[in-house]
Structure 1
Amino acid sequence: MGSKYTKRYSEEFKRDTIALVDSSGKTVTAVARELGISSESLRGWYRQAKADRGEGRPCDLTTQAREELERLRKQNAEQAKTIEVLRKAAVFFAKESDR
């Protein structure tokens, strides 16, 4: 995750900052410098906002798609654990029935 020194910005701040980039005609780096935030953070927010609006690169996932992907990965991991437990149980009971 992030270090304990990582700043957390509200969604409202991110929205306002992205709107400032769109409306000012300034570069992401210039706006970030003016606001005293990391240009890489603002660039990431801006790229994600463009993807959510359907303006991003074809490989950029929307926020909704990212959340769905995360949910499916968690579900997949849980199912893999369940399958492993069932596999071990099947091996155990197969050995028990041979006795």
Structure 2
Amino acid sequence: MKTLRKILFATAALLVFATADSNAQIVVRARLYHRGPVVVRPVRPSAGHVWVENEWVVRHGRYVERPGYWALPPRPRAVWVPGHWDRRPGGYIWIAGYWR
């Protein structure tokens, strides 16, 4: 819905400027939200398996995405805590998920 509003606003602004001066040029830059690929989970191997979401790992000095997978908890009542991006000076770093 927000993306639709942004597109409509940009179109309205473009029309206003286009009718105001026919020699004017407008450059519109938009950062569109990308949800990423749709991941279809494979069938759960057993009732004890837990889905571990996609993770980011460092390979050759770059972050690359590792697909999600089913895993058995390392101990009874263990809960998977998903990883997340953490803001640091100069950018973000990935904090890996872990079993709690």
- The normalised TM-score by structure 1 is 0.23
Determine which structure has greater relative contact order: mean sequence separation of CA pairs < 8 Å that are 6+ residues apart, divided by chain length: 2
Bigger helix share: 1
Bigger strand share: 2
